[in-house]
Amino acid sequence: MKKYWVYILECADNSYYTGCTSSLETRIVQHNAGVIEEYTSKRLPVKLVYSQEFADANEAIRVERQIKKWSRKKKQALIDGNFELLHKLAECRNETHFRSKMKKENIIP
C-alpha cells in the first residue's frame, strides 16, 4: 500500500513550509537542492520539523490544506506535540462565539 506524508519544513529564515508527498526523503532532498522552485528555494536550507503519515492521498491533501491556513502559533503547537495548546488555539474567537461563551459562563448578562 502506498504511503503519503504531510510535512512541515523550517526554512533558513525561520518560516514554515507545509507540503504533501508520497516520498518524504526524496522531497526533502529536492527542497534542499532547490529543485522545487517555490517558496523554499529562496529560503535554504530547510529542515524537517514535522511529518504525519497517511494511507490515503486525499486525506493527506486535505490535512495539508488545513495546516497551510493555520497561524504560526498553531503550527508550532503541532510541531511541539502540544495538543492542549493546539486545541485552545483552534477555538473560534469571533464576536458571536465570544459573547455566547461569556453568557454561558455567566460573565455577561
Q: Say if residues 79 and 14 touch (Cβ distance below 8 Å).
A: no
Alpha carbons 71 and 26: distance in angstroms, whole number: 27
Lookup: cell for 22: 508520497
CB atoms within 10 A of CB 49: 16
* Residue ranges, the chain, pLDDT below 50: 108
pLDDT for the residue numbered 1: 84
103 backbone dihedrals φ, ψ, rounded to 5°:
-65, -45
pLDDT for the residue numbered 89: 85
Domain ranges of the chain: 1-69, 71-109
Q: pTM for the complete prediction?
A: 0.82
pLDDT for the residue numbered 100: 60
pLDDT for the residue numbered 90: 82
Q: Say if residues 47 and 10 touch (Cβ distance below 8 Å).
A: yes
- Domain at 1-69, CATH from 3.30.70.260, 3.40.1440.10, 3.40.640.10, 3.30.379.10: 3.40.1440.10
